[in-house]
Chains A and B, each alone.
Chain A
């Protein structure tokens, strides 16, 4: 194998797989990436056996062939190289010589034949997202995914496709985020519904690949695997087993106390008051009265803080304890100037919505005051 490739292109390709390769693990080859040179370019592949990614890059292929190299070391080297052409030659014993300008490196590769086969996936698109839309949907829900590895079904995002719309839902059992957006293309027969659990890591990798807003990702599934495809770029991941809880059931229908608040004012006040909240629970009390809201944190260890400001509200008084971080997470991803807190009483969930987007909502369960 012998290849000449621009440093910029190579760096881009090697950088994209850094999140997937395993740096420590029982199988050394998983810390490597696979380079295959054929005809007009190279493909770079990486996997941790759960997720695999592959993309093609233009290169001047002098001799076809393939080899694996330590992904981290290769990245560190390319990063430091001058912006000149890189010349890559594999020797018979899988050692690789890398030349660029006046530099020369010799790297121990591993045989390409030992690299795990790329999982099979389907080219048949079930739905298509524009990058900007998919990015928005992930950004507005991803923070609610549970970090608790022992609750597998809550460890990812639920993707649903129904009636030409895509829904993303995330919950950790204490809060939930839901977004729905129309799909530009959906090949699902009318009346059918598709529900798939996307692993957290696959989503994180996907986010890195979504650079230009205009291009589109298609989504497909095959057996236990799902794939996001954009041109030559593919991310394949295993689906999460397990049953996502019935989230429809916990979206409140009768939270009739509606409190309209300026998002900026609430967000800043909440950040200030939560500085003295209990470190574990992060609880801040919302005392809501006609025309004004008081945020209170009262803690024997750190002291007390309170802040009062006007709101649009003329219902009955209510006091509710909420985890400040959960509320801020939602405020941080909404763009509207005003948010609406939809409450029932201090024992029921608080639903946060915005006026101009009825297809997005966040739910936060209260804390016992």
Chain B
């Protein structure tokens, strides 16, 4: 839509309704309509990862300690959650979204921005397209989504939260102010319970109240985030929807050894550590690698690189390490000591391997769970808290 010579953006915020719980309901339809809570052990110290709408009626919400949730609703069904399965469902949701636009920005497993600017000729009016997307997700994956449509990401997100569950809300151009101002100030993404209390003390309850405050005052009280609040309260957001760009970058890790080495086992353990580092970043970016390149620099400053391209993209340490170590063994001669070891992952793609293997003993689900577990441990206790045996070198 063109307005005053400027192409107005049409951005969708697609958000799954109670994603983890919805997935569990697809897997076990007898759960539908019951208070279901996905989290850890209800007798342990975990928190609620997701609660069904039936459970929410008891006042249960995400991030609440499980023990408290159990007190509020003792007959709720507690599930431990199966993260590999959630990843699978998520992938299928994104497959639907990516059919509609190349610009799909993944915010988490169950949340994404889709830029449909300029797609009317292809897909028809935006509201109808949103409806089709919602129906297709329901049909293909079996779960409900809510969609907010607006001219920027901020408003789209506020809109989708407003109509949850199973709603679609389009904030037509020019109606932004009318929609936003009566909302409680806590609806602005980024305004948490703490700032909300603070605003309350200042007499600011709605977004409209916030808009009434002069910019200088906001900057005085909130410092840098004052300007941010000023813009957000007016529904201003220029952040683009950044789709994934394939093959456009690589992930590399290399290290110059403290002393040059001819010890193959030490060099291989260094390589293993670098692979773990690179693969962790790969998974954090939701990417998969096709080409693995080994880099070796010898004491005489000669550098060689050797690559191998996989048939099926992967993000698993052990697959990448096997390739790296094969390249290393072909290349490494004990004659010259090695000065630098490096690994580079390129031809990155968002699409994981879809072909399953005949002789693989573990299912992809189990391996997804394993790597998600490793990555969670690392995010909590640091990278070195868990390492592969091959990465540890003992004299």
* A-to-B contact residues, CB < 8 Å: 148, 150, 171, 173-176, 245-246, 250, 281, 283, 298, 300, 321, 323, 347, 349, 363, 365-369
Contact = CB atoms under 8 A, between A and B. Distances in A.
A117 B98 CA distance: 61
In the A-B complex, the 7 residue pairs with the smallest Cβ-Cβ separation, listed nearest first, are A367-B354, A365-B356, A368-B354, A300-B99, A245-B359, A250-B358, A367-B355
A174 B357 contact: yes
6 contacts: A173-B359, A176-B358, A281-B354, A283-B354, A298-B99, A367-B355
Interface of B: 88, 91-92, 98-99, 102, 308, 311, 326, 352, 354-359, 363-364
B99 A175 contact: no
Contacts of B358: 171, 173-176, 245, 250, 349, 363, 365
Of A300, A321, A323, chain B has the most CB atoms within 10 Å of the CB of A300
Contact of B355 (A150, A171, A281, A363): A281
B311 A347 contact: no
Nearest to A283: B354
B326 A368 contact: no
Given A368-B364, A369-B92, A173 B99 contact: no
B307 to A, nearest CB: 13
Interface of A is mostly: loop
Given A246-B359, A281-B355, A363-B358, 4 more contacts: A321-B354, A366-B356, A368-B91, A369-B92
Given A150-B326, A281-B354, A368 B359 contact: no
B234 to A, nearest CB: 36
Contacts of A367: 354-356
B287 to A, nearest CB: 16
Of B98, B357, B358, B363, chain A has the most CB atoms within 10 Å of the CB of B358
Contacts of B363: 347
Contacts of A347: 356, 363
Nearest to B102: A300
A161 B326 CA distance: 34
B357 A173 contact: yes
A365 B354 contact: no
Contacts of A321: 354
Nearest to A148: B311
Contact of B88 (A365, A366, A368): A368
Nearest to A348: B356
A365 B355 contact: yes
Contacts of A366: 356
Nearest to B99: A300
A110 to B, nearest CB: 33
A367 B88 CA distance: 12
B327 to A, nearest CB: 11
Nearest to A367: B354
Contact of A250 (B102, B352, B359): B359
